[in-house]
Amino acid sequence: MIEAKTIQDKDYQAEVCRLCGIEFDPDALAYAAVDSNTGELLAVSQFRLCNDGFGELVDVVATPDLSEKAESEYSLRNILFITGRAAMNFMDICGFHKARAVGTLSRDEALAKLLGFKPDPDGGWFCDLAHLFTGEHC
């Protein structure tokens, strides 16, 4: 089973980011997705809670050496979906009901759409989390 776990130690977050091939953002919060049966690291999501009331989903990235077993059992799409949505759910629970896709996520249209983001008139990606988690899509 894919398990998304909050990362509460910045040294561990830096290591997970390194293993996933992305830049560690010490100001960001993060989730790590792991295979609960094997403990294998599958992916990471980094996100920020901003002063303007928006959550920013910065990165949702799988490890480049994802095992064949994990890929065949879970699929990369499902791993990234669960990892990204865990961060988005946390934002919503914390009262940040609007989110932007920024960083590496802003350049991955397919993943941004999969997670529930839609194009914003300013050229970015936006998601209304309050509606997303009540069954109404953005």
Please tell me the distance from the alpha carbon of residue 55 to that of residue 87, in angstroms, as a whole number.
Answer: 9
CATH architecture of 2-132: 3-Layer(aba) Sandwich (3.40)
**Beta-sheet pairing, 54-62 with 29-35:** unpaired
Q: What is the pLDDT of residue 134?
A: 74
119 DSSP assignment: E
First vs last Cα of the chain: how many Å apart?
A: 28
Three-state secondary-structure class, residue 128? strand
Report residue 59: phi and psi, to 5°: -135, 140
Interval 18-77: pLDDT, tens: 999 999 999 999 999 999 999 999 999 999 999 999 999 999 999 998 888 888 889 999
Domain boundaries, the chain: 2-132
The answer to whether the pTM exceeds 0.85 is yes
Is residue 114 classed exposed, middle or buried when 0-12, 13-18 and 19+ CB atoms within 10 A define those classes?
middle
Mean pLDDT of the residues in the chain: 93
Q: What is the pLDDT of residue 135?
A: 67
